[in-house]
Chains A and B, each alone.
Chain A
Amino acid sequence: MTTRIDTRFAELKKQGRSAFVTYVMAGDPDLGTSLSIVKALPKAGADVIELGIPFTDPMADGPSIQAAGLRALKIGMTLTKTLELVRDFRKDDNVTPLVLMGYYNPIYIYGVDKFLADAKTAGVDGLIIVDLPPEEDDELCIPALKAGLNFIRLATPTTDDKRLPAVLANTSGFVYYVSIAGITGAAAADANAVGEAVARIKRHTRLPICVGFGIRTPEAARAIAEKADGSVVGTALVDALKNSLDAEGRATARTVNAVAELAATLAQGVKGAKQAAE
């Protein structure tokens, strides 16, 4: 099977550049604004979109993404509505890869098989589920692969060479290297350390490797893009969104642009990067 993710990375490879991967929370700060943001991201230069599924207890996320999830839940965001958002996005964009990122419980409660079928029809390409390590592959990873969705696994600095094959075994689409042991929004990792880690993972897989956690500026995105197949930015975009809200936490006229403009500058950073020799 070839997914939109595979196609996109193949194109990027041909162009000799790294991917700019953006993360935003579905339904933050409301459904309409969220859809406008997601639609604006490809125009701003996003090559891949990660869309957060809101959850009450995001154990691996920092305060920014945690707060974004709570804003979304407060306006009544659900997994069902997240899939509707994807469907609406797909009405005008059939090429940008879209990955849902979140925690397992909402999917488990929705029902794994029904979720996978609905996600596929809505136009989801891949899943990143933070609390499903390879030890729990039977839960969602293997059914997702059968349903034609990529299951993108996180590799981290604690994932040593002995463990990497297990982590990579059922991974497809790309590998998400979490450059620090920590939560989202924490301090950035050093680009050289990232380069070494990416080289290490490349010895075990031919999949593209995107790096995230802690990238906030065009310079940082560029430095990572020189070492990896993609830079992922989440917290900085979520913060830009938050800073555009009014005192009651509602969207303002600036909200969509605030996110899109930051995304555009970050995209410039990524696109200016020289791709490391393979």
Chain B
Amino acid sequence: MNIAKPNSYRSGPDERGHFGIFGGRFVAETLMPLILDLEKAYTAAKADPAFQAEMNGYLKNYVGRPSPLYFAERLTEHLGGAKIYLKREELNHTGSHKVNNVLGQIMLARRMGKKRIIAETGAGQHGVATATLCARFGLECVVYMGAVDVERQQPNVIRMEMLGAKVMPVQSGTRTLKDAMNEALRDWVTNVHNTFYCIGTVAGPHPYPTLVRDFQSIIGNETKAQMQEVEGRLPDSLVACIGGGSNAMGLFHPFLDDPSVEIFGVEAAGHGLTQLHAASIAGGRPGVLHGNRTYLLMDADGQIQDAHSISAGLDYPGIGPEHSWLHEIGRVNYLSATDDEALAAFQLLSRLEGIIPALEPAHAIAKVMELAPKRPRDHLMVVNLSGRGDKDVPQVGDILRGKK
């Protein structure tokens, strides 16, 4: 595709929330006034030093930031190429990067005077982060989760309930993340007067993709400073897994205008790209769902197709609109890893580094296993370790013992 290269890859979206043809605000009229209010509230918060100061306090003392940038020496030796660094988002309070964004949105909800928070969740990590901050700030919390995901991510369901959230299993459609998002939107339309919808990734109607990206950009900003400190220069490549793409966007965004940095997003190829998978860019095309135009898995009639991934957090037929744009404009390379590749990577990282990753970033590690050996030894590669594997221990344990 022949698209003119912009002066900056970081200036989007435009005032209507578009990244090229992607993004926008495709929602029911009932929600529009609230979405416009949210945009105003966010613009005001961004300009308010008190907002940033308060957030920084929680990021440091509650979330546990900055997260370390760890040199994975044994993984590096094993793969025999690039020097691999892990951005340790799994060490955050609640166990993943999701908490960065939720903190930001809950602060916004408080500013807007909203007392009831709803969220959708796939792996449960976004739900746990939302339940946690709602507990911390005394807000009512309702989390929509596909019935299939309730089943395969039991530890997180229990955590959410312990934190006082109400988990609503969703029985419609494929009973995974896409349907949880539909139900959350239905709840929001019904309770719009008192409810704040805390979206878990860089998708949904404008301004969500932007504000989630901004809250997650702390990952890339820290990485830049930390790499400067240990290696005295920028990394040469970045790798992150993609469900909706928030951990990836958070790592990538601060580096988009550094042309020397190669960037790789890893989608879930499930059983393989010719079978059931969740790789929207590799196997989809532009369409409109959940408030934005973006790459989607769908049939010839525009009906949304079932996604599949072993990882509940990647099991979504779409991707954030900014990623769709970065793909079409050629700034980011989108790859994919299968369920089996992710499982192998899950085990490799556990054994070599004593770090059990979530199944989501295991997809990123799977591609590192391919990319790193082809790079020289002075190549600096950063992988976003977006979450820890505690939630996946029962599921992966069953698979490894041959029960499923």
Contact = CB atoms under 8 A, between A and B. Distances in A.
Interface string B286-324: 011111010010101111100000000000000000000
Interface string B19-46: 0000011111111111000000000000
A105 B16 contact: no
Majority SS of interface residues in chain B?
mixed
B383 interface: no
A154 interface: yes
Given A105-B288, A131-B291, A153 B29 contact: yes
Contacts of B234: none
A106 B303 contact: yes
Nearest to A76: B301
B206 to A, nearest CB: 9
Interface in A11-60: 54-60
A132 B291 CA distance: 9
Contacts of B32: 133, 135, 158-159, 163
Contacts, number: 118
A183 interface: yes
Contacts of B25: 133, 135-136
Given A79-B302, A182-B189, 11 more contacts: A79-B301, A104-B26, A108-B287, A108-B302, A109-B287, A131-B288, A136-B24, A158-B29, A159-B29, A163-B32, A163-B33
Contacts of B302: 55, 79, 105-110
A86 interface: no
Interface in B203-229: none
Given A104-B288, A181-B192, A56 B303 contact: yes
A186 B30 CA distance: 14
Interface string A147-191: 000000111111110010001000000000010011100100000
Given A79-B302, A108-B302, A109-B298, A158 B26 contact: no
Contacts of B30: 60, 154, 156-158, 178, 181-182
A130 interface: yes
Nearest to A80: B301
B350 interface: no
Nearest to A157: B30
Interface string A86-104: 0000000000000000011
Contacts of A64: none
A160 B33 contact: yes
A256 interface: no
A3 interface: no
Nearest to B187: A183
14 contacts: A55-B302, A56-B303, A59-B182, A59-B189, A60-B185, A104-B288, A105-B302, A106-B303, A110-B302, A131-B28, A133-B32, A167-B29, A183-B189, A183-B190
Contacts of B298: 105, 109
B303 A136 contact: no
A78 interface: yes
B289 A105 contact: yes
A154 B29 contact: yes
Contacts of B190: 181-183, 186
A62 B190 CA distance: 11
B33 A105 contact: no
Which residue, of A106, A107, A181, has the highest number of chain B Cβ atoms within 10 A? A181
B186 A59 contact: yes
Contacts of B29: 133, 153-156, 158-159, 167, 178
Interface in B170-206: 172-173, 178-179, 182, 185-186, 189-193
A73 interface: yes
Contacts of B287: 105, 108-109
A154 B27 CA distance: 11
Contacts of A73: 303
Nearest to A131: B26
A17 B300 CA distance: 43
